[in-house]
Amino acid sequence: MDFRLSPEQETFRAEVRAWLSANLPPDWASRPVVSDVPRAELYEFGRVWQRRLHEAGLLGLTWPKEYGGRGLTWMEELLLHEELVLHRAPPPLNILGLGMAGPTIIAYGSDAQKQRHLQKILTCEEIWCQGYSEPNAGSDLASLQTRAVKDGDHYVVNGQKVWTSLAQISDWMMLLARTDPSVPKHKGLTYFLLDMRSPGITVRPLRQITGDAEFNEVFFENVRVPAENILGGEGQGWQVGITTLMYERLALGFGLQARFEIATAATLELARRMSREGRPAAKDPVLRQRLAQLVIDNAVFKYTAKRAITKLLRGEMPGSEASAGKIWWCERHQALQDLAQDLLGSYGQLGRGSPWAVDRGNWHYTFLRSRANSIEGGTTEIQRNILAERVLGLPKD
Amino acid sequence: MDFGFSQEQDLLRQTARSFLEKECPSGFVRRMMDDPAGTTDEFWGKLAELGWLGLIYPEAYGGVGLGLVDLTVVLEEMGRAVMPGPFFSTVLLGGLAVREAGSEAQKQAWLPRIASGGARATLALLEESARWDAAGIEVTAKPGRTGGFVLSGTKLFVPDGHTADVLVVAARTARPTKENPSHGVSLFLVPADRKGVTATVLPTMDQTRKLAEVTLRRVDVGSEALLGPLHQGWPVVARVLERAAVALSAEMCGGAQKVLDLSTEYAKVRMAFGRPIGAYQAVKHRCADMLVAVENAKSITYYAAWAADQDAPDAPLAASMAKAFVSDAYRKVAGDGIQVHGGIGFTWEHDMHLYFKRAKGSEVAFGDATFHRERVARLLEL
């Protein structure tokens, strides 16, 4: 057990730090709160930002060198995420391509598919979105109904996806569709790499609780996909799709932990600044208990993540630590946002645009946005099923 | 960075588990609940043979010279077995105080005897106020006529105070000062057979871990009994309590893991409405929450143990974070364990109550979650 970094890891971190200090926009560090997902007004910035990260050799750290990666370990990936967040850097725009599509193509793609897609994901030339959820298939993802019917060397897709982040600016979609309705639901799915410029695709923005339209609905009407765009073979969609979700929890999880750390620091700072019935909020005995608990929750999250990474570095798959981390994060992040609202009191009501708003009304946004945490990327209920069934070995429902 | 145990530590865990499964099954634990000593000479001798009584003491004093991270592994297994007896009070309270603050002569006098199983020790700290800070120390140590000290007063909640051969007694030798509210506390090594020392075991919820009332009636000790600096004994107590809190957290993690294991196994075989109860989400989600609590408890505890071994600047903070988190987690997990078991979990016959009671007793020892959260807030200068 040793929490110190190796000299090589120290060097890598110093490299990242130096680059970020030199290349981040000067006003960036003063932003009080960071959001977990790129917001619409930052899309163009995110695109430029990702290109610069790529040119600096900071993307695809764990990807093979022959496809533009650096062949490093998860430890460097973690260090990068920590530094990005500690510098309050915005997430790269192609977050789903980098975190999900790329790793899944590396795991299941043919050489031609790897050659075709990986480089363009890194450079942000092609943005990716994820076509999984449907209006009638959320937690029960395998019951999805979007059909892909074989027609010569193509498949014809009809159906609808929903909650599709970034679809309005995406070039490609990770699409799960049903190719065989006659077999049990998990066995009839196929994973397609879908060109979003194909005729027959309609993208409609979906306004959410925050007022932003971060998500979309995507409609398919006789969309033709070449058979060569199948990833991992017909009928293998569930297995391939699960891999994507595993990477989602893992790679995006690193960022979540670091963001939670920043949000914790911001909440403590808020507590020192806000007053409650005439005295500093941080001196209120009940709020002190909750603030201390928040700091403890953050530490717990950090060290559980480090145990997961240690397993990865030792060549094991982190089982309980990764799913436990997701459950913990969404529950505690919502508690953090609740606490921040309690510290703000009436000021929590003020949104962007009010001269009276604290921190430009960002807390208002993050509080509302946090309600999605326990739904997106697998609901807390599904995460609990995964832990109970796959880790504890309890019988299926 | 590597946040896992070494092969040697994994081996130590295997040794501990198989030893305790054989020598400390539920039947032994229950016999010791009714036994005032809480252990047998035979069992104690085996702990000495394994090297556990001196695991964290330097080799020069008959110990093995390992650290708190190594001890964590053994403590988790002890918690898993709800091991009864004065191991914790001897090794992590009385003995640790001697290791931290003892003179060469004091260390030579006690540590080899503790490590070989020849002496048991404890720390007599709490009094009627049950305060964990220096202000709780009202037992007095006044200058004696022959150059030593005379100790008077009553200590409460003294772990194994009735069976210890030597007590480290925290006593007041001066008033606190304005600048330093913990000033004026001194520690004394008091052999239990010294005239004026009486100890009575108290009936407690967790019968596997005995607590005693220790009365000191004009107890004369020589000046060589002073452990650490005069009036400045509190920093020693604080250091011992900090390590004890981490060590106890480790023991609690082991107990919580066992509760999870028992509950999961039961949920797989207990049938209701034609299916194992573990197939119902109401039960399986409870088990998943227990798993999350146990994993998180381990993460913060392991870090705190490592930080203590390294004397890292955040070691005090990490100790309080661990004790706060694990105190809540073990109580919750043990309660959930009873719920998963249903009626059988509420019986004396089933082992679940051993864990539930140990969880509660451990929760209040060295400060509960509320106490440690306030300490975290203070350390963060909130």
Interface probe for B, chosen from A386, A392, A397 (most Cβ of B below 10 Å), is A392
Average pLDDT over residues B48-77: 98
306-325 in chain B: CB under 8 A from chain A:
306, 318, 321, 324-325
Average pLDDT of the segment spanning B216-241: 97
CB contact under 8 A, B3 and A324: no
Pick the closest to residue A252 from A329, A194, A190 (CA basis).
A329
CB-CB: which of B287, B296, B302 is closest to A394? Answer: B287
| Beta-carbon separation of B306 and A391 below 8 A | no
User: Which residue of B lies nearest to A290 if distances are taken between CA atoms?
Assistant: B373
Least confident of A205-209, B137-141, B165-169, B349-353: A205-209
Chain A residue with Cα closest to B9: A1
A34 pLDDT higher than 60: no
Q: Does the beta-carbon distance from B324 to A292 stay under 8 Å?
A: yes
Instruction: Say if residue A71's pLDDT is above 60.
Output: yes
SS3 letters for B144-210? CCCCCEEEEEEEEEEECCCCCCEEEEEEECCCCCCCCCCCCEEEEEEECCCCCEEEEEECCCCCCCC
* pLDDT higher than 60, residue A37: no
If 0-12 CB within 10 Å is exposed, 13-18 middle and 19+ buried, where does residue B41 land?
exposed
Whether B140 shows a pLDDT value over 60: the answer reads yes
Cβ contact B296–A388 (<8 Å): no
Segment A328-353, tens digit of pLDDT: 899 999 999 999 999 999 999 998 88
Lowest mean pLDDT across B144-153, B241-250, B339-348: B144-153
Q: Which residues in chain B are closer than 8 Å to A299, comparing Cβ atoms?
A: 300, 303, 318, 321
User: What is the tens place of the pLDDT at every residue in A230-243?
Assistant: 999 999 999 998 87
Structure confidence at residue B38 (pLDDT): 97
Q: How confident is the model at residue B313 (pLDDT cuts 50, 70, 90)?
A: very high
Q: What is the mean pLDDT of residues A378-391?
A: 91
Query: How far apart, in whole angstroms, are the C-alpha atoms of residue A235 and residue A192?
Result: 11
Query: What proportion of chain A, given as a percentage, has pLDDT over 70?
Result: 94
pLDDT digits (tens, 9 = 90+) for B84-127: 999 999 999 999 999 999 999 999 999 999 999 999 999 999 99
Residue in A77, A126, A248, A321 annotated catalytic? A248
pLDDT score recorded for residue B26: 98
Using CB atoms within 10 A of its CB, is residue B296 exposed (0-12), middle (13-18) or buried (19+)?
A: buried
Contact B296 A328 (CB under 8 A): yes
pLDDT at A32: 52
Flag if A393 and B264 touch (Cβ within 8 Å): yes
Q: For chain A, positions 171-210, list CB contacts with chain B under 8 A.
A: none
Amino acid found at B99 = R
Higher pLDDT, A100 or A29: A100
The residue among B2, B7, B380 with the most chain A CBs within 10 A of its CB, best to mutate, is: B2
Q: Is A299 on the interface with B (CB under 8 A)?
A: yes
8 Å CB contact of B291 and A5: no
Q: Which of A10-14, A124-128, A383-387 has the lowest mean pLDDT?
A: A383-387
Locate A364 and state its tokens: 């208002």
Q: What is the mean pLDDT of residues B11-24?
A: 98
CA angle B33, B38, B42 (to 5 degrees): 125
Q: Answer yes or no: are the C-beta atoms of A194 and A167 closer than 8 Å.
A: no
Confidence of residue A74 (pLDDT cuts 50, 70, 90): confident
Q: Which residue of A has its CA nearest to B260?
A: A392
Chain B nearest-CA distance from A250, in A, is 16
Distance between CA atoms of residues A328 and A45, nearest Å: 31
Q: Measuring CA to CA, which residue among B46, B7, B285 is closest to residue A384?
A: B285
Contact of A294 with chain B, judged by CB distance below 8 Å, is answered with no
Please give the mean pLDDT across all residues of chain A: 90
Tell whether the model's pLDDT for residue A390 goes beyond 60: yes
Q: Hey, is the C-beta of A320 within 8 angstroms of any chain B C-beta?
A: yes
Q: What are phi and psi of B325, to 5 degrees?
A: -65, -50
Contacts of B37 (CB under 8 A, 6+ apart): B85, B86, B163
Averaged pLDDT of chain B: 97
Residue A311 pLDDT:
82
Of B248, B236, B204, B307, which is closest to residue B94 (Cα–Cα)?
Answer: B236
Determine which helix (DSSP H) or strand (DSSP E) holds A186, and give its type and residue range: none
Q: Which of A282, A384, A392 sits opposite B382 (nearest CB)?
A: A282
User: What confidence category does residue A325 fall into, taking pLDDT thresholds of 50, 70 and 90?
Assistant: confident
**Does the distance separating the beta carbons of B380 and A396 come in below 8 Å?**
no
- The reply to whether A384 touches chain B by the CB within 8 Å rule is yes
Secondary structure (H, E, C), A187-245: HHEEEEEEECCCCCEEEEEECCCCCCCCEEEEEEEEEEEEHHHECCCCCCHHHHHHHHH
pLDDT in the model for residue B317: 98
Within 10 angstroms of residue A111's Cβ, the number of other Cβ atoms is 9
Q: Which of B279, B295, B321 lies nearest to residue A299, judging by beta carbons?
A: B321
A328 contact residues in B (CB cutoff 8 A): 292, 296
In the prediction, which pLDDT does B10 show?
Answer: 97
**pLDDT (tens digit, 9 = 90+) per residue, A192-222?**
999 999 999 999 999 999 888 888 999 999 9
CA distances from B94 to B140, B148, B150 (A): 19, 21, 20
* Nearest CA distance, B66 vs chain A (angstrom): 13
B:20-79 residues touching chain A, CB 8 A cutoff: 69
Q: B49 CA to chain A: closest CA distance, Å?
A: 26
Q: CB–CB of B268/B260 below 8 Å?
A: no
* A288–chain B nearest CA distance, Å: 6
CB contact under 8 A, A3 and B318: no
- Provide, as residue numbers in chain A, all residues whose Cβ is less than 8 Å from the Cβ of B377: 282, 288-289, 291-292
**pLDDT given at position B28:** 98
Contact A291 B275 (CB under 8 A): no
By the CB < 8 Å criterion, does B270 face chain A?
A: no
The alpha-carbon gap from B343 to the nearest alpha carbon of chain A, in Å, equals: 21
pLDDT tens-digit readout, A251-261: 667 778 888 98
E-only strand ranges, chain A:
128-131, 147-151, 154-162, 172-178, 189-195, 201-206, 215-226, 275-276, 279-280
ipTM of the complex: 0.95
Taking residues A242-269, report their average pLDDT. Answer: 80
Its pTM stands at 0.94
CA dist B212 and B163 (Å) reads 9
Tell me the three state secondary structure of residue A97: helix
Instruction: Give me the count of residues in chain A.
Output: 397
Task: Quote the percentage of chain B above a pLDDT of 90.
Answer: 98
Given an 8 Å threshold on Cβ–Cβ distance, is B300 in contact with A385? no
pLDDT band at residue A90, thresholds of 50, 70 and 90? Answer: confident
Phi, psi of B151, rounded to the nearest 5 degrees: -100, 135
Q: Do B303 and A6 touch (CB under 8 A)?
A: no
Q: Which of A71-85, A108-122, A326-340 has the lowest mean pLDDT?
A: A71-85
CB-closest option in B1, B296, B382 to A271: B382
Residue B364, pLDDT > 90, answer yes
Cα A279 to Cα B66: distance, rounded to the nearest angstrom = 48
Which chain A residues are closer than 8 Å to B371 by Cβ? none
CB contact under 8 A, B296 and A299: no
pLDDT for A248: 63
The residues facing B122 across adjacent strands are B167
Subunit contact B284:A1, Cβ cutoff 8 A? no
Contact list, B321 vs chain A (CB under 8 Å): 295-296, 299-300
Task: Output DSSP code: residue B94.
Answer: I
Tell if the CB–CB gap between B306 and A311 is shorter than 8 Å.
no
Q: Can you give the pLDDT at residue A31?
A: 61
Q: Which carries the bigger pLDDT value, residue A310 or residue A233?
A: A233
Q: How confident is the model at residue A36 (pLDDT cuts 50, 70, 90)?
A: low
Check pLDDT > 80 for residue A245. no
A248 has catalytic annotation: yes
Residue B255's φ and ψ, nearest 5 degrees, are: -65, -45
**The dihedral formed by the CA atoms of B294, B300, B305 and B307, expressed in degrees to the nearest 10:** 170
Q: Which has the closest alpha carbon to A287: A265, A298, A272?
A: A272
CB contact under 8 A, A282 and B296: no
Minimum CA–CA partner of A265 in chain B: B380
The predicted-structure confidence for B163-200, as pLDDT tens digits, reads as follows: 999 999 999 999 999 999 999 999 999 999 999 999 99
From CA A36, how far away is CA A256, in angstroms rounded? Answer: 7
* Residue A366: CA count within 13 A, CB half-sphere: 29
From the list B69, B287, B318, which residue is nearest A388 (CB)?
B287
A contacts of B268 (beta carbons < 8 Å): 393-395
Show which of residues 9-38 on chain A sit within 8 Å of chain B, judged by CB atoms: 9
CA distance A321 to chain B (A): 7
DSSP B327-370: HHHHHHHHHHHHHHHGGGGGSSSSTHHHHHHHHHHHHHTT--HH
Q: What is the pLDDT of residue A310?
A: 85
Residue A316 pLDDT level (bands cut at 50, 70, 90): confident
Average pLDDT over residues B61-87: 98
Question: For residue A135, is pLDDT > 60?
Answer: yes
Question: Is residue A359 pLDDT above 60, yes or no?
Answer: yes
